[in-house]
Amino acid sequence: MFLSKNPSARALIGVGLFAIALASGCNKPKHKTKTAAPAASGSAAVAAAAAGPCQKYAAALCEKAGKESENCQHLTASADLLSPAACTAGMKDIDYSVKKLSEANKSCEDLVGKLCAAIGPTTETCNMVKTQTKSFPASRCKSMLEHIPEITADLKKMEAANAPLAPELAASIANGGPSFGPADAKVTVVEFSDFQCPYCSRAATVVEQVKEKYGTRVRFVFRQFPLPMHENARGAAEAALAANAQGKFWQFHDKAFQNQGKLTREGLEGIAKDAGLDVAAFKKALDSKTYAAEVDSDMKLGESVAVNGTPTMFINGARVSNPTSFEAISAQIEGALSGKPVAAPAHPG
């Protein structure tokens, strides 16, 4: 979620390596970008290729080029134009085509080698680089090779942000805030969330699944992190804390996420009524900004642990790579419960 201050490097990183970090959350705005429509994946293209020898030829080449790569898409499209006889001839001399592909991909192999050598070949960030670079055309890899220092700096920041928190930081974000589960639970989950973020709504569903599956074995803490581009998020955060003061945080939480399009002041009052709050006391708290400082405090806590978007989740101080996936969260919880933490699964790339 970190972006380089160098415009050239930022543009190069933004279109590729950082896509995985931004894929499943709402993020603080850094600069405006236009997102191109995604191309059909290579695997889908292979499946759609002409039947017979041409499909086999395209599949063999895509195994080398990477099934999700731009090269695979071009190869598949080309093979679809060839006659079965030409594809059969190509298969007989497939080693030649594979050699040429290797030469074309050398810049991407060099890019992976240089970046992983700089950030550590066994790091999760190196694994992400390897996965994402498979989809890069050679021209992009060549351009990125000209910006190795800038890209390396950003990737090191990403790796540092993904490292488990120091015990004192893990304790600071888990101390206080609306929560459920016993204080002495072996596993503590802390989420920084934004009531207007659609990904946070997905995470809320996952949190309910966590509660149902793990019960008293897990403590869950909710932290406010309203993002500036969500005009109603700040008011919703203060409203949620007003509901918490009346002992009805989770009732308000659930209804707010179920009604993300109704988080105006009038809408919040309606949600408060539906959640069973004393609406007069609720309105007074909002009018007097009673919980504004608490929201500010949560945001400072988030910034202290490199929260740049929502949802951001930690399990016993270890950042969750995909907080909208119950499977990813459950795997990390199981590891924490067993005393054998598991590596967080990467986003699909």
Same domain, 96 and 138: no
Q: For residue 116, tell me if it sits in a domain.
A: yes
Q: For residue 348, tell me if it sits in a domain.
A: no
Indicate the burial class of 159 (C-beta count within 10 angstroms; 0-12, 13-18, 19 or more): middle
| Single-letter amino acid, residue 8 | S
Same domain, 52 and 181: no
Q: For residue 37, tell me if it sits in a domain.
A: no
Predicted pLDDT at 341: 66
Same domain, 62 and 118: no
Q: For residue 35, tell me if it sits in a domain.
A: no
The two beta strands, 312-315 and 179-180, are unpaired
Predicted pLDDT at 8: 43
Q: For residue 255, tell me if it sits in a domain.
A: yes
Same domain, 275 and 191: yes
Q: Which is higher by pLDDT, 251 or 65?
A: 251
Same domain, 22 and 67: no
Least confident span in 5-9, 50-54, 108-112, 312-316: 5-9
pLDDT tens track for 164-221: 999 999 999 999 999 999 999 999 999 999 999 999 999 999 999 999 999 999 999 9
pLDDT tens track for 272-287: 999 999 999 999 999 9
Domain with residue 179: its CATH number is: 3.40.30.10
Predicted pLDDT at 197: 97
Q: For residue 300, tell me if it sits in a domain.
A: yes
Predicted pLDDT at 186: 96
Least confident span in 151-165, 195-209, 289-303: 151-165
Sorting pLDDT into bands at 50, 70 and 90, what band is 342? low
Same domain, 200 and 234: yes
Least confident span in 62-71, 127-136, 203-212, 266-275: 62-71
Q: Which is higher by pLDDT, 58 or 232?
A: 232
Same domain, 289 and 176: yes
Q: For residue 346, tell me if it sits in a domain.
A: no
Distance CA 132, CA 314 (A): 24
Same domain, 149 and 67: no
Would the pTM count as exceeding 0.85?
A: no
pLDDT at residue 315 tops 90: yes
Domain end call among 87, 104, 121: 104
Same domain, 73 and 178: no
pLDDT tens track for 69-110: 666 777 777 777 888 888 888 888 888 877 777 777 889 999
Using an 8 Å Cβ cutoff, are 312 and 192 in contact?
A: yes
Domain end call among 162, 190, 211: 162
Q: For residue 1, tell me if it sits in a domain.
A: no
CA-CA-CA-CA torsion for 148, 154, 157, 163, nearest 10 degrees?
A: -80
Same domain, 274 and 200: yes
DSSP per position, 275-296 = TT--HHHHHHHHHTTTTHHHHH
Average pLDDT, integer, range 320-325: 90
Sorting pLDDT into bands at 50, 70 and 90, what band is 136? confident
pLDDT at residue 34 tops 50: no
For residue 241, give its domain range: 167-338
Q: Which helix (H) or strand (E) holds 310?
A: strand 309-310
How many separate domains does the chain show?
3
Same domain, 128 and 20: yes
Which range of 4-8, 22-26, 161-165, 172-176 scores highest in mean pLDDT? It is 172-176
Q: In what order do the strands lie in the sheet with 179-180?
A: 179-180, 218-224, 187-193, 312-315, 318-319
Domain end call among 59, 75, 104: 104
Same domain, 122 and 66: no
Average pLDDT, integer, range 63-69: 69
Predicted pLDDT at 61: 79
